[in-house]
Amino acid sequence: MILSGRALRLTVFVDDTDTWHHRPMYTEIVHRAHAAGLAGASVFRGMEGFGATQVVHTTRLLSMTDDLPVAIMIIDTEEKIRAFLPRLDDLLIEGLAILDEVEVVHHRGGQAR
């Protein structure tokens, strides 16, 4: 799949300890995006952060290494991203989801293995 020009980036922020049916929440979201045929998804683990609870979680303190921030970024056309959003509704995500307009300047994949 080649993607270029205007696109939409969906970023979902969750805690690394969030789960869905005994599976990490970020894994469930990535697999749903893959099943929906979206152009790409990546997961980034944060080293420090806070959210709605205003509690700072960090890797620097051994007692606070749980609930680190995780960002799942998914990029595709606006049409496909907006069509995908309802597939997240049943996850009951406690976190934040944002949409950004982006411009894809390079996207080239290899052959499927």
Task: Report the pLDDT value the prediction gives residue 100, as an integer from 0 to 100.
Answer: 96
Confidence (pTM) = 0.82
Structure tokens at 42: 């990546």
Question: Which has the closest alpha carbon to 64: 55, 52, 73?
Answer: 55
Q: What is the dihedral of CA 73, 78, 79, 83, to 10 degrees?
A: 40
Task: Report the pLDDT value the prediction gives residue 85, as an integer from 0 to 100.
Answer: 96
Amino acid letter, 1: M
36: in domain: yes
Question: Edge to edge, what strands does the sheet with 96-104 contain?
Answer: 40-45, 69-76, 5-15, 96-104
Q: How many domains would you assign to the chain?
A: 1
Mean pLDDT by 10 residues, the chain (113 residues): 84 92 96 96 85 69 68 96 95 87 79 54
111: in domain: no
What's the CATH number where 99 sits?
3.30.70.120
Task: Report the pLDDT value the prediction gives residue 64, as an integer from 0 to 100.
Answer: 52
86: in domain: yes
Q: Domain of 52?
A: 5-104
What CA–CA distance (Å, rounded) separates 111 from 97?
31
What CA–CA distance (Å, rounded) separates 74 from 39?
8
31: in domain: yes
Task: Report the pLDDT value the prediction gives residue 107, as an integer from 0 to 100.
Answer: 62
109: in domain: no
Q: In a 3-state reduction of DSSP, which class is residue 80?
A: helix
